[in-house]
Amino acid sequence: MANVKCFVNNPYQENTYLLFDETGECAIIDPGMYNAAEQNAVTGFIKDNSLKPVLLLNTHCHIDHVLGNKFVFDQYGLKPQFHQGETDVLAAVVAYAPAMGLRYEPSPLPDEYLPETGTIKFGNTILQLIFAPGHSPAHLCYYDTTANLLIGGDVLFRNSIGRTDLPGGDFSTLVKNIEEKLFALPDDCTVYPGHGPQTTIGFEKQTNPYL
């Protein structure tokens, strides 16, 4: 069964996730590590636990979620995988990073893009793809049925939702995707969001003021 390790990275306090199981294989999701200390925390955990990174996944391609893509590629030879609809979002980062005062080493491009539905596998773990745009144009969430956990990116937060004022964002699309796709998951599904603390689907159904 998959285990989750979270690292809080970069000025945006973005959650970078390692998903790993008993095989030792792991997926790195939304690598936001920015400085050497953040990079060392992730590589140190991988080394100390004898993990083998085999997948680099992005839920979406805003700067805070892709700052570490190039670093992961340099360290482990992994190119990112995300939905093709995020390509323009990724391309834009090069232009706006300096304005935000951030160093950005351009991310490699995927060898293959992820579809809107289907599964991806590593070790003994199967992740279901859930296509949930609204915060960004082609945002994907990754759901592990066995562990009943969702790596949700910037779609649903504890008592909040992703912002929709960035290019490609749309409030009604986001709410529709949360209500139709994420709220179809079990109430006790643990949601690991792109920022802030974890939550559950049931808790957000009951208390989220946006939904």
User: Taking the CB of residue 66, how many other CB atoms lie within 10 A of it?
Assistant: 26
In this prediction, residue 161 carries a pLDDT of 98
Mean pLDDT of 53-65: 98
Parallel/antiparallel/unpaired status of strands 119-122 and 125-131: antiparallel
Share of the chain above pLDDT 70, in %: 100
Integer Cα distance of 54 and 79 in angstroms? 10
Domains of the chain: 3-207 (3.60.15.10)
In this prediction, residue 1 carries a pLDDT of 92
Q: Which residues contact 12 (CB under 8 A, 6 or more apart)?
A: 32, 63, 64, 195
In this prediction, residue 96 carries a pLDDT of 95
Instruction: Tell me if 30 sits within 8 A of 40, measured CB to CB.
Output: no
In this prediction, residue 150 carries a pLDDT of 98
In this prediction, residue 90 carries a pLDDT of 98
In this prediction, residue 115 carries a pLDDT of 98
Mean pLDDT of 145-158: 98
Q: Mean pLDDT across the chain, nearest whole number?
A: 97
Give the 3-state secondary structure of residue 101: coil
In this prediction, residue 22 carries a pLDDT of 98
Band (53; pLDDT cuts 50, 70, 90): very high
Helix spans in 67-115 (H): 69-76, 87-96
DSSP 132: -
Share of the chain above pLDDT 90, in %: 100
Mean pLDDT of 55-79: 98
In this prediction, residue 126 carries a pLDDT of 98
Q: Which residue has the tokens 């066995």?
A: 146
Mean pLDDT of 175-180: 98
Closest to 196 measured CA to CA, from 4, 68, 13, 39: 13
In this prediction, residue 46 carries a pLDDT of 98
Mean pLDDT of 164-186: 97
Q: What is the pLDDT of residues 96-150, one digit of tens each?
A: 999 999 999 999 999 999 999 999 999 999 999 999 999 999 999 999 999 999 9
Mean pLDDT of 164-187: 97
